[in-house]
A and B are shown apart, each in its own frame.
Chain A
Amino acid sequence: MDSHELQRILYVEDEPDIRAVAQIALEVVGGFILNVTASGEEALTTAEAFAPDLILLDVMMPGMDGPSTLLALREIPGLANTAAMFMTAKAQPQEIEHFKSLGAIDVIAKPFDPMTLSDQVRAIWQQHRG
């Protein structure tokens, strides 16, 4: 693995409130460059050009859910190996394993704390890289 630092995050979340908080948490608190999209479909149209270091997805969304969005994103050549994380409420251990089997490096539990979300994302990233 290269020692590339985490900068660009593609974030997919349908819920506007959560999107707004996470945006502050990741952009303002965390200092990341964010591409915020409200659905899997929208993510697919902008993902390639944005070239994210990390894909952060809500699991349950109307239309394309998180896992199917990730599968579709994987079809894009530049994103075949991009690190991905899911965000979801109250995930059972076997569900977490399932998400990991889809290629996520980890699962972030909702509700998240906006002040520490960035640290959490960065910690998982570093662990994954390390």
Chain B
Amino acid sequence: MNTPKPDIQARLQALREVYAKQLPPKLQSLVKMWETLSESNWNWDIASELYRELHTLAGSASTFGFPEIGQQASIAEHMIKIWVTEHRVPETGPRQQFGSTLKQLSAEQVPVRCAPVSDIAPTPFADTKKDNEQHLIYIVDSDEIFSNELGVHLNQFDYRVHICKNSGELDAAMAGEEAAAIIISVALAESELAGAVLAQGIKSRYGSQFPIIFVSNHSDFESRLHAVRAGGDAYFVKPFDIAPLVDRLDQLTKNEQQDPYRILVVDDDQSLANHYSLLLQEAGMSVTTLSEPQNIFPAMADACPELILMDVFMPRCSGLELAKLIRQQDNYLGIPIVFLSSETNQKKQFMAMRMGADDFLTKPITSAHLISSVSIRVERSRILNTLMVKDSLTGLLKHTKIKEQLAIEVSRASRKHNPLCFVMLDIDHFKSVNDNYGHMVGDRVIKSLARLLQQQLRKTDFIGRYGGEEFAIVLPDCPLEQATQVINRVREDFSALCFSHNRQEFTVTVSAGIASFAQYHTPEDINYAADEALYAAKNNGRNCVKKAEGNKEIIQ
């Protein structure tokens, strides 16, 4: 590809500034156009023009660095598009909604307001390796080759492994050191279901304190059912990818480290809201309360809830209306809404469900019932969310998501005057890994790097798979020197990982470029600078980390 000339950023920046200047009057004119349209008894020419303007805005705002405006415009565009193409005058409800979307759009601050993600205090880079070293995993399988190979993989992810060939060996081992989890083959040499029987025995003897993961050659209903009945927490069919197994192990062995569930409680009765809040907080959730429904959107933007628990009867605006209001915003379509009410009339409950509620809890409610209803929904919604925003191979954020996150974190950093670094990281000579060992092995290399990054970086960092073998990382609250140290450690540890294929062993290295917010002030500039630094690292012989040079490349 052509190397971009240094004045590109400056030229783009100039265009961006021009665009930003035009934006507020443009947004105002959209509102005017809407007002004229509403008063004109719906003139189709004006409607078409408004549609076109919104379409243009939706398509351009992000290019110039205003993703939120682009998003809002796209919501409005979508609504008016249907009316214009179907030549249908909208009813009052959608009309009002469209009007308020436009108003919201015109009230948008330029440069763009920070996206709604809750603020998290900086956390130090923990030496996660040490945490994991305590975790011992028992593998029970008659197939020693399988066990040994799995053991090697788990070692790479910092789990200690003890291999048992049969139930006797497991019993002996359990008498010694406690395991963090047990991986059992459903079939053992003794019989087709010996592993399941063994697991059942463990569960009945020790309770459910040891998570059990089944591995099996069969994926049929019967085998899975046996595994579930034997108390299995997960089930993997051989041959399986190591990454999902390690993910599951991480979850099962480090449950307490999960982010607390974020819940928003809406109840006009402040004391009741506080009561529910307390119950949920005691269960380890992070709760925000709201007693004035009209503040729902700022509250949601601040708290970024994963579930809304809402009273049905409120004076200003009923819970049903509020639910509908929330559901009409595209980006809140997926958020679970649970109603709390003394209403026992099933008809009315169904009515609430139709308005967009997911569940209906009847007051008075026991704390156990409340907590489990809420937890179950949040857990499922987290899984769905993961599927939407994450790369299926690595579980890292997808390209667009990591770029979005960079924009969010840059605006946060500028608001809070915090440091921030952005890293572009690329596997060296990846093509030759694929050529020499095949794509399956290539995938394994990519997944291993993804896992290593997840282990060594903080929970508050954002890691994305940018493309094939390229990764992008956002490190909030992290100055350049510290970022360099951390990424260098990743680089060193990765180069020490030993991969094997057909008894051939090989190692792989990475190169990285880092740019810091202290020197580059827009997401585009940081991204570009990190990319340039990565090129510099590649040109410098690879297997190294380069910092972006700073002001030198910025032409204002």
Contacts and interface: CB of A to CB of B under 8 A. Distances in A.
Interface of A: 15, 17-18, 20-21, 24, 28-31, 60, 62, 87-90, 110-115, 118-119, 122
B524 interface: yes
A29 B56 contact: no
Interface stretch (B62-70, B366-374, B476-484, B537-545): B62-70
Contacts of A60: 52, 55-56
B2 A31 contact: yes
Interface of B: 1-2, 4-5, 7-8, 11-12, 15, 18-19, 22, 52, 55-56, 58-64, 70, 74, 77-78, 403, 524, 527-528, 531
Nearest to B66: A111
Nearest to A113: B63
B74 A21 contact: no
Contacts of B61: 111
The 7 A-B residue pairs with the shortest CB-CB distance in the complex, in nearest-first order: A89-B59, A110-B59, A111-B62, A111-B63, A31-B2, A89-B58, A29-B4
Contacts of B19: 17
A52 B291 CA distance: 63
Given A18-B60, A18-B63, A90-B59, 12 more contacts: A17-B64, A21-B12, A28-B11, A29-B4, A30-B2, A90-B77, A110-B60, A111-B60, A111-B61, A112-B63, A114-B12, A115-B524
Contacts of A29: 2, 4, 8
A24 B12 contact: yes
A111 B70 contact: yes
A24 B11 contact: yes
A119 B3 CA distance: 11
Contacts of B527: 115
Contact of B74 (A18, A87, A89, A122): A89
A58 B27 CA distance: 22
Given A24-B15, A60-B52, A115 B60 contact: no
Given A60-B52, A115-B527, A119-B1, A17 B60 contact: yes
Given A29-B2, A29-B8, A90-B58, A114 B74 contact: no
A14 B22 CA distance: 17
Contacts of A24: 8, 11-12, 15
Contacts of A110: 58-60, 63
A94 to B, nearest CB: 13
Contact of A21 (B15, B22, B52, B56): B15
B4 A115 contact: yes
B59 A21 contact: no
Listed residue (A20, A21, A111, A118) with the most chain B CB atoms within 10 angstroms of its CB: A111
Contacts of A112: 63
Given A18-B60, A21-B64, A110-B63, A28 B70 contact: no
Say whether chain B's binding surface is mostly helix, strand, loop, or mixed: helix
Contacts of A62: 52
Contacts of A20: 15
Given A17-B18, A115-B527, A88 B2 contact: no
A18 B60 CA distance: 7
B77 A89 contact: yes
B17 to A, nearest CB: 11
23 contacts: A15-B60, A17-B18, A17-B19, A17-B22, A21-B12, A21-B64, A24-B11, A24-B12, A28-B11, A29-B4, A30-B2, A31-B2, A89-B55, A89-B59, A90-B59, A90-B74, A90-B77, A111-B59, A111-B60, A111-B70, A115-B527, A115-B528, A118-B1
Contacts of A111: 58-63, 70
A112 B528 CA distance: 15
Nearest to A122: B1
Nearest to A17: B19
B400 to A, nearest CB: 10
A60 B7 CA distance: 31
A34 to B, nearest CB: 14
A108 B95 CA distance: 31
Contacts of A28: 4-5, 7-8, 11
Contacts of B8: 24, 28-29, 115
Contacts of A87: 59
A21 B63 contact: yes
Contacts of A88: 59
B11 A18 contact: no
Nearest to A29: B4
Contacts of B15: 17, 20-21, 24
Contacts of A21: 12, 15, 63-64
B30 to A, nearest CB: 15
A89 B59 CA distance: 5
Q: Which of A31, A60, A114 has the most CB of B within 10 A?
A: A114
Contacts of B22: 17
Given A24-B12, A89-B74, A114 B2 contact: no
A15 B527 CA distance: 26
B68 to A, nearest CB: 12
B63 A114 contact: yes
A106 B78 CA distance: 22
Nearest to B61: A111
Nearest to B4: A29
B77 to A, nearest CB: 7
Contacts of B524: 115
Contacts of B77: 89-90
A21 to B, nearest CB: 6
